[in-house]
Structure 1
Amino acid sequence: MNNQGIIKLIILLIIAVIVLGFFGISLKAVFSKETVQENLIVVWEAARYVWTNYLAAPARYLWNIFYNLLWRSFIENAERIRGGKPPLLLEGQPELEFSE
């Protein structure tokens, strides 16, 4: 589902580059200009500032929740299944028997 959006975005970017080339606009020439490089540096530094001062702590908090609740339990259960044991969720539950 989500891959379709990524594929559409890639196709759209390719079409945009082709259209720019059709109109004689060189991306290499645009990005080699000093003012464009300075603007990109300013945007990059602003993004780093926002990440460091506002987004890093909440992202780390959410990552720790994901890691502790989901990822560690997934790895534990995968190792149990590989060892021939049932996952922790199913351990101790009665097995269903189907009569023929």
Structure 2
Amino acid sequence: MTSTETLTSVFTSVVTSTWKATNLGWMASVRVDGYDWTVLLPPMGRDANGDDEPARAEIFGCEGWGGTEFVTGQATWTQNVAIVDAVMAARRAP
């Protein structure tokens, strides 16, 4: 089980990482607590009524000495704002 403190560290640290566009959305990696964590910011979706539905950043997995672990966790809305700002800056970069 991933602790709340670890998730907070991952989402706080990933803001300053290098973001790359993928077919799944924007991804970045960060090293926290001896693991390489991958964070995904998926594109906006649509709800059942067809209205835009914002997406929150989520942990896509982590990799360490023992191999890859498939863990999940979503950023809080406050953390998500900082992550979206970082992704937008990456999109504007030459």
Normalised by the length of structure 2, the TM-score is: 0.25
Structure with greater strand percent:
2
Structure with greater helix percent:
1
Normalised by the length of structure 1, the TM-score is: 0.24
Higher normalized contact order (CA 8 Å, seq sep 6+, divided by chain length): 2
